[in-house]
Amino acid sequence: MSLRFGILGAGRIGKVHARAVASTPGATVVAVADPLAEAARQVARDYGCSIRSIDEIERSEDIDAVVICTPTDTHAELIERFARRGKAVFCEKPIDLDVQRVKQCLRVVAEEGATLMVGFNRRFDPDFMAVKAAIDDGSVGKVEMVTITSRDPAPPPIDYIRRSGGIFRDMTIHDFDMARWLLGEEVETVVAAASVLVDPEIGRAGDYDSVNVILRTASGRQAVITNSRRAVYGYDQRIEVLGDRGMAAARNTHESNLEMALAEGFRRPPLLNFFMTRYTAAYANEIAAFVAAVRDGTVPPATGDDGLKALALADAAVKSVAEGRVVRLSEIVG
Amino acid sequence: MSLRFGILGAGRIGKVHARAVASTPGATVVAVADPLAEAARQVARDYGCSIRSIDEIERSEDIDAVVICTPTDTHAELIERFARRGKAVFCEKPIDLDVQRVKQCLRVVAEEGATLMVGFNRRFDPDFMAVKAAIDDGSVGKVEMVTITSRDPAPPPIDYIRRSGGIFRDMTIHDFDMARWLLGEEVETVVAAASVLVDPEIGRAGDYDSVNVILRTASGRQAVITNSRRAVYGYDQRIEVLGDRGMAAARNTHESNLEMALAEGFRRPPLLNFFMTRYTAAYANEIAAFVAAVRDGTVPPATGDDGLKALALADAAVKSVAEGRVVRLSEIVG
Amino acid sequence: MSLRFGILGAGRIGKVHARAVASTPGATVVAVADPLAEAARQVARDYGCSIRSIDEIERSEDIDAVVICTPTDTHAELIERFARRGKAVFCEKPIDLDVQRVKQCLRVVAEEGATLMVGFNRRFDPDFMAVKAAIDDGSVGKVEMVTITSRDPAPPPIDYIRRSGGIFRDMTIHDFDMARWLLGEEVETVVAAASVLVDPEIGRAGDYDSVNVILRTASGRQAVITNSRRAVYGYDQRIEVLGDRGMAAARNTHESNLEMALAEGFRRPPLLNFFMTRYTAAYANEIAAFVAAVRDGTVPPATGDDGLKALALADAAVKSVAEGRVVRLSEIVG
Amino acid sequence: MSLRFGILGAGRIGKVHARAVASTPGATVVAVADPLAEAARQVARDYGCSIRSIDEIERSEDIDAVVICTPTDTHAELIERFARRGKAVFCEKPIDLDVQRVKQCLRVVAEEGATLMVGFNRRFDPDFMAVKAAIDDGSVGKVEMVTITSRDPAPPPIDYIRRSGGIFRDMTIHDFDMARWLLGEEVETVVAAASVLVDPEIGRAGDYDSVNVILRTASGRQAVITNSRRAVYGYDQRIEVLGDRGMAAARNTHESNLEMALAEGFRRPPLLNFFMTRYTAAYANEIAAFVAAVRDGTVPPATGDDGLKALALADAAVKSVAEGRVVRLSEIVG
């Protein structure tokens, strides 16, 4: 039987997930909730589902699973409420900006035996999956160095920056998850450098826009993460993994395969410029993996604990910048 | 209001078009016809449509348009029947293997004032559209040389070869259409060379598997087409257009953006291996273009006349190989 | 002992060969001849050699070999004179523009048992050698299709065009030699199409500037050659060889490995723009191969017969264009 | 008049520089010194120069400049001796492994008004020069992030490791110089992470084989350096510079431009595997730049002070690893 979904939040990312659910065999959008009536109406129209309040969805017998796309500060509470109702929960990252609150929430999930998956969409990108497969099948050998370059085309509005928890918790968190996924060992130490180079307004908001991070595991494997809030040439999303047998790299995706040869040189189009076009396949694969995990009763491929650990790495990076030193992860998550 | 479709033929390409119709805003699959009950049932199930006979679809009031995916020798008759019923017709290439029969069919279409679009899907591939755009916006300047490389991963079954009308009418026909589309002038002469290199069985069936063709327009523009029924590295589909201001090229699409760096060298995955994965976007864009043309009452972007002219080029190529000489298109279409 | 060279002709290509000889271990430039005193003086200065007349070089005891870089119409006679003197001869292509004259010259060379090598420099380009090696070591399997793209950055002066023997004998001749070298079988038929698209002045000089040629061997292997006298993006020199096990391709060489990522897209520099920069390594390898053949008494890797056969292919192409038909090579060299 | 050189040390790098001098217009190899008679003899033979002792070269009137390629622990003293003799000095990096000794040496050079250039060959690599030009001409805009990937094909012998001063002073020092050259601002802080992943023997020798470093300037510009003593796919030498107008990147150089398309995917050859083949052009350009600086009396493009500053960055990296913290460069060079 089809898994019946309620979509909580019909904003930009809510619409992405609604479409992914609608196009996944064995999954149906049954209801959508959003305080903005027009946003909810659009999802209802596009996928032929009903509009309900979050409370109504919570009590709905015909809802098996929810996708939480509401503002970050509501995530933990909603996870707990729906976990207690026995519904499977897919929640956009982060669970919360506070490590202690996340831990508390995960305790509830564990007590209820609920299924919780966190939205680390990049694990489901076909190119990054190909890199992971090259690790898992032994092609790169023992992993030694991971290099992640992740740059946004342009910074988000300053209001978003202010509520984001800072670049490490908002943007780098995806790369922290990628690094953990690819290193094959837990990170032991974190050191970071942070600058304001793109927009001084970001600095005045207490945040950074340009950061580099080095992660190190107990056996000495290292990951380097390079982030910028601006890359004029598009959404730069690359991964390289060096092992003792070779390197696996995921190259960027351009708008098309056109190449122009002109008097001034050769030209290719810019990169896909937006996370929704760049990660279209990833969002679809992600929901399909969630549906499969719920159906088969298996552990989803990105758990609450993954969410917690990525957040802890972000906290360690913040501390490293503040104190100018290498921070052990054990200082954060004890 | 949504354009209501009947799908005639639920084989491989019929399913591709059914999916394209179903995913196009403003289009609905209403009915499917196929002598093979199971094939029809699958489409009916996937898109929630009814199963009818071709005759029933012809008489159906709730059908505005049909997609003809039946065997080639039924195309011309079906086009005529549905044109007479006032339905818009999208027909897979070719209309017929005989130029005179095609002309007769197109006369009926013209008399009825019917909308007919022919399935030259490559015109709708995003990469080839980018090349065309680079011509249309003047980036390549005056077009001088078009180079089309088109190789199948592996030959079709010998039975298919026997019924195909030969490589020029079955395979090169797509490239003839591409050449016309890109040259910006009608072709005047054709010369071709043909060999059997892949499988002697193809030769015994009276066909070739490896061909090269040179087309020339009145002003001297040239197009070269290179075809093979086999490329072990995947479905090789490339276009280059040289003009007086530069060259526009559409590069191949690989299975992913993975690059492996190993002791023996650098590796990228093979090309997308199948016309349905390689041209997924093209098939969707193609149906969308048909729907738009019907809705707006405009000439569709690949007409019956385009089908006729590509077929005439194929006939000219056949004659060129047989007679070892340059053939004028006027010898074929008078 | 070092092979002692006389350089006949100190123009552009003479200087290229003088430098190649000077930098080859086991070879020395002993003398140079040129009616233009300043040209001879420059070579004499650069490589510390003497200036002599061609007659003096012919009689010089301290000269073992000559490089003939004089105007084309002197080649055959000079080859004969120096062959008779027992000197090894390296001659720039072509030996002559007339097939019968070439045959006569080669008879003299054969009678004298002289060593003659013809300047098909592309056989010595490292990238093309890598393609050839991939054929020879079986990586591409049985050769089926060769595709050669060869475009000059810009046409030569119209005076040069007039004396050149026409595009097939002057420019395509290199590609004819490449095709023979790569096909692994002698060509049986030739068909060509020719246009004037770059400069009407070239047409008024009785020549073409844009040509495509299809070659076919007895077993059906084919080669396609695409030439233009103009490519604004640089000196376009590419080869692809398709076999039953794969394809080997030599990609173009850009001015540098710089890649710029900008708001309007990604940019690489133009191609190396000039035959002397593009084929620097080829010219050096070529002279080294000549020196080795003379030293070891082996057949040089590009013989007078190779020169003859390439010229015959050019004649066949001329005839094909004139008569609008496929021409058998046996019509030319009987 | 030609600049007359003495080559001090005829080992691997000494031979590279001897060849570079010999092939530079306006420069001549006059003498070579090496305690190993055979090494000296080979250079003498190849370039027709005399063999002398270092003392003799010091006193030679016919020597204008020396290239110091002797062991590292002799560099500083030789620089001082030849500076006092009024000879121009080109010295392989590093001047010394001790910052104080370097300072002392540079004081002597300054007092004598001698010309001293340090062998940071990468500044003269055509691809890296193209990146630098894209900064200097404004194409990348204001520099924000520099990313340098530098990996050796395989580790040097353990004996070399022991005498090398450690990976930061031996290998990363080139990248420190590149970073300074590209950042356009002096570095203020350094943080590094170091591991032994390639060979435990390197760890037992007290060194690391896998390191990452983050440099930061006063205005917040950052550079990331990634080093490994092993990359099985060849000598990995890449640079990326992100600015507010775009990114300039120098891609790697492969052994050839061959691309193979096979059933298992597409293949390109490995990278040029050795610093002498990879940086052939750089070594030639470097000596030419030295010759030009001596001739014109200008400051050479890589000074003793550049050598000092790169060494100070290496010392800061060592300290950062030892103390697990961000180190200010002012702690090292006061």
Chain D contact present for A210, CB below 8 A? yes
**DSSP run (H or E) holding A102:** helix A99-112
Preferred mutation among B136, B257, B266 to probe A, highest tally of A CBs within 10 A: B257
Q: How confident is the model at residue C189 (pLDDT cuts 50, 70, 90)?
A: very high
* Model-level ipTM above the cut of 0.90: yes
Residue C299 lies in a domain: no
Say if residue D107 is in the same domain as residue D168: no
Per cent of chain A over pLDDT 70 is 99
Say if residue C143 is in the same domain as residue C110: no
Query: Mean pLDDT over residues C67-81, rounded?
Result: 97
B233 contact residues in D (CB cutoff 8 A): 261-263, 265-266
Shortest Cα distance, chain D CAs vs residue C84, angstroms? 35
DSSP B325: B
Option in A263, A264, A268 nearest C266 (CB): A268
Tell me the C-alpha to C-alpha distance, in Å, between residue B67 and each of B105, B170, B306, D155: 16, 19, 17, 64
Residue A218: give its domain's CATH number.
3.30.360.10
**DSSP run (H or E) holding D77:** helix D75-84
- Position B26 scores a pLDDT of 86
The last residue of a domain, from among B54, B84, B114: B114
Model confidence at A142: pLDDT above 80? yes
Touching subunits for chain B (3+ Cβ pairs under 8 A): A, C, D
Token representation of residue C309: 């056969």
Residue C97: give its domain's CATH number.
3.40.50.720
Task: Give dist(CA C179, CA C172) in Å, integer.
Answer: 10
pLDDT digits (tens, 9 = 90+) for C85-134: 999 999 999 999 999 999 999 999 999 999 999 999 999 999 999 999 99
C263 contact residues in A (CB cutoff 8 A): 232-233, 270
Option in A189, A220, A326 nearest D197 (CB): A220
What would the DSSP string read from start to end of D14-28? HHHHHHHHHTSTTEE
- Position B25 scores a pLDDT of 82
Task: Give dist(CA D307, CA C316) in Å, integer.
Answer: 65
Do the Cβ atoms of D230 and A244 come within 8 Å? yes
Among chain C residues, CA nearest to A262: C233
In whole numbers, what is the pLDDT of chain C averaged over residues?
Answer: 96
Question: Is C118 strand, coil or helix?
Answer: strand
Shortest Cα distance, chain B CAs vs residue A182, angstroms? 15
Do the Cβ atoms of C250 and D261 come within 8 Å? no
Model confidence at C302: pLDDT above 80? yes
Q: Is beta strand C258-262 parallel, antiparallel or unpaired with respect to D246-250?
A: antiparallel
Say if residue B237 is in the same domain as residue B168: yes
B140 contact residues in A (CB cutoff 8 A): 260
Token representation of residue B116: 């007919």
HSE-CB for A198 with a 13 A CA cutoff: 25
Among chain B residues, CA nearest to C140: B232
Say if residue B183 is in the same domain as residue B95: no
Residue D288 lies in a domain: no
Model confidence at A86: pLDDT above 80? yes
Model confidence at A285: pLDDT above 80? yes
DSSP D121: G
Identify the CA nearest to D313 among candidates D136, D181, D162. D181
Q: What backbone torsions phi and psi does residue A85 show, to the nearest 5 degrees?
A: -80, 0
D259 contact residues in C (CB cutoff 8 A): 248-251
Question: Is B189 strand, coil or helix?
Answer: strand
Say if residue B138 is in the same domain as residue B62: no
Per cent of chain C over pLDDT 70 is 99
Say if residue B163 is in the same domain as residue B47: no
Residue A294 lies in a domain: no
Task: Give dist(CA B79, CA D332) in Å, integer.
Answer: 85
Preferred mutation among D217, D225, D235, D242 to probe A, highest tally of A CBs within 10 A: D242
Query: Mean pLDDT over residues C248-252, rounded?
Result: 97
pLDDT digits (tens, 9 = 90+) for C142-176: 999 999 999 999 999 999 999 999 999 999 999 99
Q: Where are the alpha helices (DSSP H) in B23-125?
A: 37-47, 54-59, 75-84, 99-112
Size of the A and D interface in Cβ pairs below 8 Å: 106
Model confidence at C72: pLDDT above 90? yes
Among chain C residues, CA nearest to D242: C261
Option in B231, B236, B267 nearest D265 (CB): B267
The last residue of a domain, from among C114, C131, C158: C114
**DSSP run (H or E) holding C19:** helix C12-22
Question: pTM to 2 decimals?
Answer: 0.95
Say if residue D133 is in the same domain as residue D270: yes
pLDDT digits (tens, 9 = 90+) for A125-135: 999 999 999 99
Residue A142 lies in a domain: yes
Identify the CA nearest to C244 among candidates B155, B266, B250, B252. B155
Identify whether the C-beta of residue C107 lies closer than 8 Å to the C-beta of residue C80: no
Chain D contact present for B245, CB below 8 A? no
Among chain C residues, CA nearest to D46: C25
D237 contact residues in B (CB cutoff 8 A): none
The last residue of a domain, from among D87, D114, D141: D114
Tell me the C-alpha to C-alpha distance, in Å, between residue B73 and each of B79, B102, C68, C331, D197: 11, 11, 65, 44, 67
Do the Cβ atoms of A249 and B263 come within 8 Å? no
D297 Cβ contact partners less than 8 Å away, ≥ 6 residues apart? none
Residue D322 lies in a domain: yes
B262 contact residues in A (CB cutoff 8 A): 139, 245-246
Chain C contact present for D156, CB below 8 A? no
Shortest Cα distance, chain C CAs vs residue D283, angstroms? 17
Residue B190 lies in a domain: yes
Residues of chain D predicted below pLDDT 50: none
Q: How confident is the model at residue A100 (pLDDT cuts 50, 70, 90)?
A: very high
Q: In which domain, by residue range, is B69 found?
A: 3-114
Option in C126, C257, C263 nearest D251 (CB): C257
Residue B220 lies in a domain: yes
Residue B299 lies in a domain: no
Task: Give dist(CA B227, CA B195) in Å, integer.
Answer: 11
Task: Give dist(CA B246, CA B252) in Å, integer.
Answer: 20
B124 contact residues in A (CB cutoff 8 A): none
Query: Mean pLDDT over residues A256-265, rounded?
Result: 96
Preferred mutation among B149, B151, B233 to probe D, highest tally of D CBs within 10 A: B233
Say if residue C136 is in the same domain as residue C175: yes
pLDDT digits (tens, 9 = 90+) for A193-227: 999 999 999 999 999 999 999 999 999 999 999 99
Task: Give dist(CA A233, CA A272) in Å, integer.
Answer: 9
Each residue's pLDDT expressed in tens, for chain B with a length of 334 residues: 689 999 999 999 999 999 999 888 889 999 999 999 999 999 998 888 999 999 999 999 999 999 999 999 999 999 999 999 999 999 999 999 999 999 999 999 999 999 999 999 999 999 999 999 999 999 999 999 999 999 999 999 999 999 999 999 999 999 999 999 999 999 999 999 999 999 999 999 999 999 999 999 999 999 999 999 999 999 999 999 999 999 999 999 999 999 999 999 999 999 998 777 889 899 999 999 999 999 999 999 999 999 999 999 999 999 999 999 999 999 998 7
Say if residue A191 is in the same domain as residue A276: yes
Q: How confident is the model at residue A278 (pLDDT cuts 50, 70, 90)?
A: confident
Say if residue B242 is in the same domain as residue B135: yes
Domain count, chain B: 2
Identify whether the C-beta of residue B273 lies closer than 8 Å to the C-beta of residue B153: yes
Touching subunits for chain D (3+ Cβ pairs under 8 A): A, B, C
Option in C247, C256, C260 nearest D127 (CB): C256
Option in A140, A258, A262 nearest B130 (CB): A258
Do the Cβ atoms of A210 and D222 come within 8 Å? yes
Q: Is beta strand D27-33 parallel, antiparallel or unpaired with respect to A236-243?
A: unpaired
Say if residue A61 is in the same domain as residue A109: yes
Say if residue A171 is in the same domain as residue A315: yes
Model confidence at A309: pLDDT above 90? yes
